[in-house]
Structure 1
């Protein structure tokens, strides 16, 4: 019988978010690799599940050294269940190295979907999140953190990231300094837990709120950068190329203006001015 690696999402706080498949996997896996073995045993007890397999720790400091043993277990036909303290393995948590190792040996890997702070925060943010990027934790040092925010000045997707509560105020102030106080964001705190809170507003408003101190697990959703309209003068050559290919001037102006998000009239006038010059 072929073994397999199973990644399983665990509740972020609300125990009832545990899926029936997670309960089944905890009770039947041959090996349970857990970020914190005590928390996993507590979770299983709360779910009324008895773990019958071997439980081994699998956190950042031992992740690399545990890989050969866990890959060998899968290769020998056993089911290895990987769980973290909360949410989905591999998402700012241990996991991807084990997936890589199993894939390299052509061993089966599957996933039991479930809670994720990333998608939960996106849904609650109230921001346009059809397209988004996830960036883990910002750099801790102010200079590196500001440089990181610089990369988001023109990011066309919403950005979601985690932050430690004691660094949130400084992080948001850096965001204000680099991105401006008017960019919208949402700070999601203690998702699915008793004191869940979502603060929505501009970066300036959120930085002022966070300055008073914030507790709990934090996920931040940052609005995508607003597109900057092109200068009609910079689009004259694009219009003229379409005209040289046979398009009428007004039709070419209408097409290019719609694509660039500029005024058709202003673009038409810019073309005529360029021709006069």
Structure 2
């Protein structure tokens, strides 16, 4: 029987025979598809797809034999290490023990133009010296932890977060694969910085994308993200989060709006999502903050 055709890794993870292994899924606007899944010991395989897929081993200690796109491998997995699956290749692997993986898929259609521009045309999805190997990268480990943490904090993931995080991760993969991106040359022009910050403030409640901000600055998404960080000291997603927390503080101080309405006003899907982000950055929840600024003596008591 001919195996079903899947247009993407995301579709295969929902509809393929191993869909039941998926424990958690974060899919921000189809820009990135981040999965956490546990697979029992034995063989696992999938059809070829036009995506590159980055896997992180969350447990380690199991023998892994197979082929992810660059010839046979036979290794003992290590906790926190990565594997990169090649596009257009049907990988297979045999694990001697049950294992937990987290994966991040990059659609060739979604990302090719960004990568081509970032590398001045020298990038190719079809060649990387890290395909099919086990490797470590502190930068990638940090990025994976940050992604899961932010998704858990913010509830509905934002397109800005997804695109910016994808650019950071792909930049590291290209560096490891021998095709480093061209370095950013300085920060944003003053007019571009001003217009982008005005747009962020005006659309706090919207799911604004990195591409929209980059268009405002007349730059590609990849170059904009790096130049924004050079100018403002933090990535666009972090700056947006700070603006949202500042606006929430202002509304808590000056209005009697319910916290649920304030959450929606500053771009969070629920009061719980706002509370998680707010507590992390103000060391108290929104209700306690409102009491503290409205009646400091009572709050201390």
- TM-score of the pair, normalised by structure 1: 0.30
Choose between structure 1 and 2 for higher RCO, CA contacts under 8 A separated by at least 6 residues: 1
Larger-Rg structure: 1
Q: Give me the TM-score of the superposition, normalised by structure 2.
A: 0.28
